[in-house]
Amino acid sequence: MIVITVGKSYIDIDGYASSIAYRELLRLKGIESKFVSNATVNYSIIDSLKSNYTVDNYLVNSNDKYIVLDLSDKSYFPDFVDENNIIEIIDHHPGYEDYWNSKIGCNALIEPIGSVATIIVEKYEQDNLLDKMNKDVAMLLMAAILDNTLNFTANITTERDKEAYKKLEVLINEYDYASKYFSECQKYIEDNLKESIDNDIKIQKVSEHLPNVFGQLTIWNADDLLRQKDLINQIMSNYNNEWMLNIISLNNNSSYIMYSGDSVKNKLVELLDCKEENGILIKTPAMLRKEIIKKAL
């Protein structure tokens, strides 16, 4: 059996959607495969995307061959994967291109692109099977492209990602999916605010210009969250008396930065050249945490 799999610790929507869509593509070509993973699905796989198209209940055995998606760093492979039985790898994380090219040649496709989902869409096209793609599968791939490219604002975004997304929009006749997808993600974050902050916090002394505690949330529209300043204050103060929280609002491509007090604020104003409104710093276009850190260094 061919077993498609992803990273062992958690699955995000890109790995999840790509695995399901690739299994369905192989099926359309008359090749049977299974999508096997024991990893936890993260918040990017929203409830409305959970359907009959999901992981398979299949027990792997020593005769199985593996296709690994959205991953090429061996240390994150699931324990059941035998490296010598890997027949294909598709990924967009840099670092292991040479290793896999020397091992499996052109069956390793590792390239700088916004999402693996984009590559899977292109594979359907190459096989002339895009019009046979199931609508649930197309929607999964759309969510994956949106999530991994931060609605096409992340630096890794390419024209290929935008092209693939447009083709899926046409295929399922859905032209407002970005707001639907990110709004549902947002609802989860708002309903589980502490958990969401806790799951994406960086505690580290990186620079004189930044507090040691640096949180980040990515949502569609920051308005409601900005009204929850007191609650956010409470959550963040539990970590340290000096902190900042970068709330990336995708609909207007802005960062709203909350902070513990004047000393943090003054450093940030100087570093980022941003304005303050009602005790919140605003930076347009939005900056990712890794970009802010890069600037501080």
Neighbours of 91 (CB within 10 A): 24
Q: What is the CA radius of gyration of the chain?
A: 21
- Where does this chain bind Mn ion (CB under 5 A)? 14, 70, 148
Task: Name which of 150 and 235 has its Cβ closer to Mn ion.
Answer: 150
Q: Residue 14 CB, nearest distance to Mn ion (Å)?
A: 3
**What is the rounded CA–CA span in Å between residue 263 and residue 80?**
50
Name which of 14 and 161 has its Cβ closer to Mn ion.
14
Identify which of residues 194 and 290 has a Cβ nearer to Mn ion in the complex: 290
Q: Which is nearer to Mn ion, 14 or 24 (CB)?
A: 14
CB of 92 to Mn ion, least distance (A): 6
By C-beta, is 14 or 64 nearer to Mn ion?
Answer: 14
Output 17 or 130, the one with its CB closest to Mn ion.
17
Which one-letter amino acid corresponds to residue 293?
A: I
Q: What residue number has its CB nearest to Mn ion?
A: 14
Report, in Å, the least distance between residue 110 CB and Mn ion: 12
CB closer to Mn ion out of 25 and 210:
25
In this complex, which beta carbon is closest to Mn ion, that of residue 118 or of residue 216? 118
**DSSP-derived secondary structure for 249-261:** ETTTTEEEEEESS
Rounded to whole angstroms, the Cα distance separating 281 from 265 reads: 8
Cβ 145 to Mn ion shortest distance, Å: 10
Contact 85, 4 (CB under 8 A): no
Give the nearest distance from C-beta 125 to Mn ion in angstroms: 19
Alpha-carbon gap, residue 234 to 232, rounded angstroms: 5
Q: CA–CA separation, 189 vs 186, rounded Å?
A: 5
- CB 81, min distance to Mn ion, A: 18
Q: Minimum CB separation from Mn ion for residue 254, in Å?
A: 24
SS3 string of 17-65? HHHHHHHHHHHHCCCCEEECCCCEECCCCCHHHCCCCCCCCCCCCCCCE
Enumerate residues 6+ apart whose C-beta is below 8 A from 182.
Answer: 146, 151, 219, 220, 250, 251
Q: Sign (positive/negative) of CA torsion 222, 228, 233, 239?
A: negative
Q: Is the dihedral of CA 193, 199, 284, 145 positive or negative?
A: negative
We find the least distance from the C-beta atom of residue 115 to Mn ion, in angstroms, to be 5
Quote the CA–CA distance of 54 and 50 in Å, as a whole number: 7
C-alpha 170/C-alpha 168 separation (Å) is 5
Closest C-alpha to 16, from 27, 29, 26, 7: 7
